[in-house]
Structure 1
Amino acid sequence: MTGLDVAALEAIDVHTHCEVSSRGHASLSDELHAASGAYFKVEGERKPTLEEMAAHYRERRMAAVVFTVDAEHATGTPPIPNEEIAETAAAHSDVLVPFASVDPFRGRAGVRQARRLVEEYGVKGFKFHPSIQGFFPDDRLAYGLYEVIEETGAIALFHTGQTGIGAGVPGGGGIRLKYSNPLRVDDVAADFPHMKIILAHPSFPWQDEALAVATHKPGVHIDLSGWSPKYFPPQLVHYANTLLKDKVLFGSDYPVLSPDRWLADFAKLPIKDEVRPKILKENAARLLGLTDSPL
């Protein structure tokens, strides 16, 4: 992290996915990956490597938070190793910020792994995808992980709302949308009041629930990834401009949505001049501990 020069960055993308390991192992089955690509209208099927992601963001003078999703219990697909992501991010610390993902169903072994990833590998947060992992965020199953995250000062990032993963596959590939209602994170924020939380994506069809939780719980933030800004609900734009101007974060969902497209569409939104830099960089820099400004 010492290689990251915040002042020189144009933006910090808090939501990008590592979809392939150095050995070519994918984070999703071919069926789910194809469905995601079709949902997001991704051109081409090739997944960028971490080194290619680093180059992509370096060219744009941006930093990117990068992670995978460990959902082996529900999907049967082994995850891309968190250690590999952290090590590669360390080698590209001028642009990549490592997050990890630990399947809550790993139990005590997962809790030990989470602590080791923070203390030995320097990961800054953990990605949860309740719909793919098959758990409600407020299930006590995950509380051991939250204890480690809160204690170490890391960040918990939760997918919220509908997902393109499994879209169009019979039965949605077995993925259930109910798990990703952001209101299920409210208990988590209450039970772990000092844990930093990000609700990922415009939370369709529960946008108002996400706004309610973020305005009520000081540690809860919202990232704007996974949607082109031209499709943002009006109330999300309004809150980003006002009550949540210090708690809303730029995220693209790269590689399914490029930062170039996201930023081009974001430029057309009626965001106040003084709020725009907060969303693009300043809020993330503070949340990630890259600046001395208090949360």
Structure 2
Amino acid sequence: MPMPRDIRVIDTHVNIPWDQHDAERYGSLRALQRDRESLDAFHMPAQYMFRGIPDLGSDPATFVARVVEAMDKHNIGTALIPVGDAIRYPEIRDRYADRFVFQSSVNPYNGVEEIRRLKKLHAEYGLRALSFFPAGSYPQVAINDKPMYPIYTLACELGLPIFVNAGVPGPRIPLDTQRVELIDEICWFFPELTFVMRHGAEPWEELAVKLMLKYPGLHYSTSAFAPKHYPKAIIDFANTRGSDKIIYAGYFPAGLSLDRIFAELESVPFKDEVWPKFLAGNAARVLKI
């Protein structure tokens, strides 16, 4: 059952830093954070949870090349990144067009203007996914709140999956908007939707499995979890009825190094037939790669 090394991996959670501390990327969370440590000491919103956060240095001109170098080291052929990274770094499209595909985060409060914005991005960049961080929206918008319904409708119309944070959020902000049971309503109302849970779904990972059994379009990605912390319920599901539902995602360089992730993957007890689907096949199908 050891992880095969000859699979060209698809990583569904990579980002290119915008500056040394990504202050602009994370700035919106400051309106929700209240404790002084988060506001005054943290460089990323859930810093208390991660040790050895990768440091790509202080020169943004080198960030893209250093991310690609790390991908090459671990045989990652394609990474899903925020479209904002491609806008900020033209070399992503000019030099590395074959290495990255793009997602766009959504702002449900922007109403019809948000739909227009997303359609424009899709036309220009060929989006492969949308993404949403319910607890990180301000004011917070729950997975099943009314402002999200036009977003889910658009995802269905464009044939795009939506990656949504589920479970207790890492940053010290309220969790209520990310309760896993809220996904049930969305998968019921939008049977065409491909919905991918991000960031663990804990402590409701067993409920997440029940819902994946129930709904064909519901999936789970392993983003922001070091492999030694993958929930047992998720590993067991991948090894039984859920081999088509569990998708590899890292968290590089926001919180985890690829060196750590791939060293720990060696000890994950997936069955031989699960690895190709987990590392690439499921993501290729969901993202239409």
Q: TM-score, normalised by structure 2?
A: 0.82
* Cα shift at 1:229: 1.8
Q: Contact (CA 8 Å) 1:51, 1:88: kept in 2 or not?
A: no
Q: Where in structure 2 are the equivalents of 1:232-251 lying within 5 Å? A: 232-251=230-249
- Residues 112-191 of structure 1 mapped to structure 2, 5 A cutoff: 112-133=116-137, 134-165=140-171, 172=172, 175-191=173-189
Give yes or no for the alignment of 1:272 onto 2:271. Answer: yes
Paired residue secondary structure (2:97):
coil
Give the drift of 1:44. 6.1
When residues 199 and 178 of structure 1 are mapped into structure 2, their CA distance, relative to the original with a 3 A threshold, is same
Aligned-pair identity in percent equals 26
Q: What one-letter code is carried by the residue in structure 1 that aligns with 2:267?
A: K
Change in CA separation of 1:18 and 1:187 when aligned onto 2, cut-off 3 Å: farther
Cα 1:121–1:34, aligned 2, differ >3 Å: closer, same or farther?
Answer: closer
- Residue aligning to 1:12: 10
What code does the residue aligned with 1:145 have? I
**1:42 pairs with 2:42:** no
Offset, 1:67: 2.0
1:85, 1:222 → 2: CA distance?
Answer: 29
**In the alignment, which residue of structure 1 is the partner of 2:216?**
218
Partner of residue 84, structure 1? 87
Change in Cα spacing, 1:46 to 1:82, as seen in structure 2 (3 Å) is: closer
Q: Which runs of 5+ in 1 are unaligned?
A: 1-7, 69-80, 166-171, 291-295
CA contact (8 A) 1:19 1:28 kept: no
Tell whether the 8 Å contact from 2:15 to 2:85 is kept in structure 1 after alignment.
no
Give the drift of 1:45: 5.7
Count of matched residue positions in the alignment of Structure 1 and Structure 2: 262
Consecutive unaligned residues in structure 2, runs of 5 or more: 1-5, 31-38
Report deviation, 1:36.
Answer: 2.4
Q: Deviations over 1:117-142 (max 9, x none)?
A: 11222111111000101111111101
Q: What's the offset of the Cα at 1:9?
A: 5.5
1:73 matched to which residue of 2?
Answer: none
8 Å Cα contact 1:67-1:85 kept in structure 2: no
The structure 1 segments of at least 4 consecutive aligned residues displaced by more than 6 Å after TM superposition are none
Match of 1:293 in 2: none
Q: Which amino acid aligns with 1:64?
A: A
1:63-114 deviation per Cα after TM superposition (whole angstroms, max 9, x unaligned) = 211127xxxxxxxxxxxx4761695543322221111112111111111111
Structure-2 change in CA distance of 1:140 and 1:109 (3 Å): same
Is contact 2:16-2:85 (8 Å) kept? no
Partner of 1:253: 251
> 2: distance between equivalents of 1:34 and 1:100?
20
8 A contact 2:86–2:93 mirrored in 1 = no
RMSD (Å) for aligned C-alpha atoms: 2.5
Alignment of 1:201-216 (within 5 A): 201-216=199-214
Q: Which residue number corresponds to residue 106 of structure 1?
A: 110
CA positional deviation for 1:178: 1.3
Letter in 1 for 2:66: E
| Structure 2 counterparts to residues 187-198 of structure 1, below 5 A | 187-198=185-196
Instruction: Check if 1:66 corresponds to 2:81.
Output: yes
Distance 2:8 2:245 in 1: 18
- SS of the residue aligned with 2:14? strand
Tell me if structure 2 keeps the 8 A contact 1:82–1:101.
no
1:21-36 to structure 2, matched below 5 A, reads 26-29=24-27, 31=39, 33-36=43-46
CA–CA separation in structure 1 for the residues paired with 2:53 and 2:23: 20
**SS of structure 1 residue aligned to 2:24:** coil
